[in-house]
Amino acid sequence: MDLLHELKAEQVMSQTMEVNGQTVVADVWRLPATSSADPLRKAGERLLVVGKTVYLFHEDVRPMMGSCTWPEDLPAWDFAPDYVVDAGTARFVSGVSTEAPAALMGALAERAAAQGWEPLGGGVWRRGQETLLAHAAESRRGTEAVMVIQRNPRQ
């Protein structure tokens, strides 16, 4: 995608994931610390942006989404997710809410704390061998939010 090159993103790997039982492939890109991900948020249906990490799906995953169940061990949001992607070591959850981004992140922080997540700042929490990343921003559809839980390899 030309926009990723313009933002000087670096492709770090390709990853096979499952979306509601169907296998999909995403290229994983990292943005430089000085680049803003904002231009990517309106760039297309095949993108999932979490902080400085961009997942570019090889196909539009939205037709596969259907209705999704919320993973029980994730802090609950006040909206139904658009989709859930399970990559084995990482789980991705995205959705849209009418809450303001700050209110949504505040609610997540409270629930994460109640479930034993330690805040590290900047939308990042840690619990045992897992890291939770969250981001919420205004969009045409309301507040779009993404959560990722990554299982860290044991040291």
> Is the confidence at residue 143, as pLDDT, over 70?
yes
Position with higher pLDDT, 89 vs 145? 145
Residue ranges of domains in the chain: 2-151
Q: 11-41 burial string, b = 16+ CB within 10 Å, else e? A: eeeebebebbeeebebbbbebeeebebeebb
Alpha helices in the chain (DSSP H): 2-6, 62-65, 101-114
pLDDT digits (tens, 9 = 90+) for 65-98: 543 344 444 454 544 455 455 444 556 666 667 7
Angle CA 114–117–122, to nearest 5: 115
How does residue 147 score in pLDDT terms, banded at 50, 70 and 90?
Answer: confident
